[in-house]
Structure 1
Amino acid sequence: MKMLMLILMMVISPAVLAMTPEETLFNNPATPHFGAKNPRLTIVSFTDYNCPYCKQFDPLLERVVKENPDVSVVIKLLPFRGASSIIAGRAAMTVWEQHPEKFQAVHQRLMSKKGPHDEASAVEAVKSVGLAPITVTPASYLELKTNVEIAEVLGIQGTPATIIGDQLVAGAISWDDLNKLVKEQLAKVKHDKA
């Protein structure tokens, strides 16, 4: 993981250059997150609202947080599946920017839709949580662009891709494999701090 952090220094986005690599991945306030406020383990999920495997895997991350109160998840939206992924991602990022308390509900709504998104489904997801229609912000695009740059530096070539402790997991994995990996990484963190 330390090597990955060093590589992240090469990312050229001005927003990212203002932060340390660790902040860029784990503590960027412009990036949606949920779970523990002071986590022992932070999971970073690179995901796309149009990816069917992401839609299957995302509920497992929510379950990890529910069963492990010392874990948090950072969501790096990665619009790999074209313009409609950008539309859905920008809508979600704008909600995070303007109404962070509503993000998780919008995120779940976007993840639960069968098939690809379009502008109407992104608007409907926002509306479904009681928000007025939003105008996507320039910052929402910059954050998606930054996520793409980070993914390129890390060699991520698809979604979902998940950083769990010092492991980068490509693709969706089963609940048993995810839970085992989280437990191993939590034990490693506890051991490293001892």
Structure 2
Amino acid sequence: MLKNLAALGLALGLALPAAATDLDNLSAAERDAFRAEVRAYLLENPEVLMEAIAVLEQRQGAAELERDAMMVAANADALFSSAFDVSFGNPEGDITIVEFMDYRCGYCRRAHPEVADLVEFDGNIRVIVKEFPILGEQSVLASRFAIATRIALGDEAYVSVHDALMEMRGDVTEPALQVLAADLGLDGAAIMGAINDPLVMQTIEYNHALAQRMAISGTPSFVFGDQLVRGYVPIDGMQQIVAMLRETAN
């Protein structure tokens, strides 16, 4: 603490005792006088403290961005090339967005049509879906049903079920999921026949382990290129991030 005060005092240009640069040699009286001097200065000039806090927050923000970029790089294969995932949009897009989502998450539902609009309007974006159920048993059942759809009927059927689950209201139960499949013209019996396939839970467990490595604990969470964004982002925010990534790449 005293070393921090000494550094602050030097930075503020306070008149320090002659021995202040050698903290071990300060007498008790000199220590008390120094503390009183720093306190008085900060009380008279609180804007200095606010400036110091702003600098600290800026440095912490930069460090967090760098740490996130390192986590993305370290987990690039699992994020962008996993056989567990389905992608949509332009498979050759210059920007890839990875979304960790839960079908019972209100903000995931809010983001879903905006992500679809971004993909449609931009035309050069690929989106990878990470099934990441964290909101209870109904979330897990919904993800199991979606993954089982892919196993039984393929990627196109999965996308249809994914979209429908995002719009589904009411409790997620097996009878309700059977009705959802029938409404989509899909073979509900085939899907339910695959729901206990070991690959279903392997997919969910794989994504949970990846999220833990990425320090992701909530939904939605996104990876835009090498940037990790935790939480909901409106479409204009997503467009700004995409534009910045393209500008940086050029």
Q: Same fold (TM over 0.5)?
A: yes
Q: How far did residue 115 of structure 1 move?
A: 4.7
* 1:170 matched to 2:237: no
Deviates more, 1:70-79 or 1:174-183: 174-183
Q: How far did residue 5 of structure 1 move?
A: 4.0
CA contact (8 A) 1:88 1:119 kept: no
User: Which AA in structure 2 matches 1:110?
Assistant: L
Q: Which of 163, 166, 180 is the equivalent residue of 1:108?
A: 163
2:14 equivalent in structure 1: none
CA contact (8 A) 1:43 1:72 kept: yes
Distance 1:153 1:122 in 2: 32
Q: How far did residue 140 of structure 1 move?
A: 1.3
2:203 equivalent in structure 1: 143
Q: How far did residue 7 of structure 1 move?
A: 4.4
1:129 equivalent in structure 2: 184
Inter-CA distance 182–138: structure 2 relative to 1 (3 Å threshold): same
Distance 2:231 2:73 in 1: 24
Name the SS of the counterpart of 2:228 in structure 1. strand
Distance 1:173 1:100 in 2: 26
1:154 equivalent in structure 2: 214
Name the SS of the counterpart of 1:106 in structure 2. helix
Distance 2:148 2:247 in 1: 36
> In the TM superposition, what whole-angstrom CA distance separates every residue of 1:127-175 from its partner, at most 9, and x where no partner exists?
3221112121211110011011111110111100011112211111222
1:16 equivalent in structure 2: none
2:82 equivalent in structure 1: 28
The alignment of Structure 1 onto Structure 2 pairs a total of residues equal to 177
Name the SS of the counterpart of 2:85 in structure 1. coil
* Within-5 A mapping of 1:56-67: 56-67=110-121
Q: How far did residue 23 of structure 1 move?
A: 2.7
User: Which AA in structure 1 matches 2:177?
Assistant: A
CA contact (8 A) 1:84 1:119 kept: no
Q: Which of 179, 184, 188 is the equivalent residue of 2:239?
A: 179
2:35 equivalent in structure 1: none
Distance 1:63 1:7 in 2: 30
Structure 1's unaligned 5+ residue stretches are 9-21
Distance 2:248 2:115 in 1: 19
Distance 1:113 1:63 in 2: 19
Deviates more, 1:90-99 or 1:111-120: 111-120
Q: How far did residue 104 of structure 1 move?
A: 1.6
Compute the TM-score of the two structures, normalised by the length of structure 1: 0.84
* 1:86 matched to 2:146: no
1:3 equivalent in structure 2: 70
Kindly report the root-mean-square deviation, in angstroms, between the aligned alpha carbons of the 2 structures.
1.7
Distance 2:161 2:130 in 1: 15
CA contact (8 A) 1:49 1:89 kept: yes
Instruction: State percent identity of aligned pairs.
Output: 28
Q: How far did residue 72 of structure 1 move?
A: 0.6
Deviates more, 1:110-119 or 1:86-95: 110-119
Distance 2:71 2:198 in 1: 28
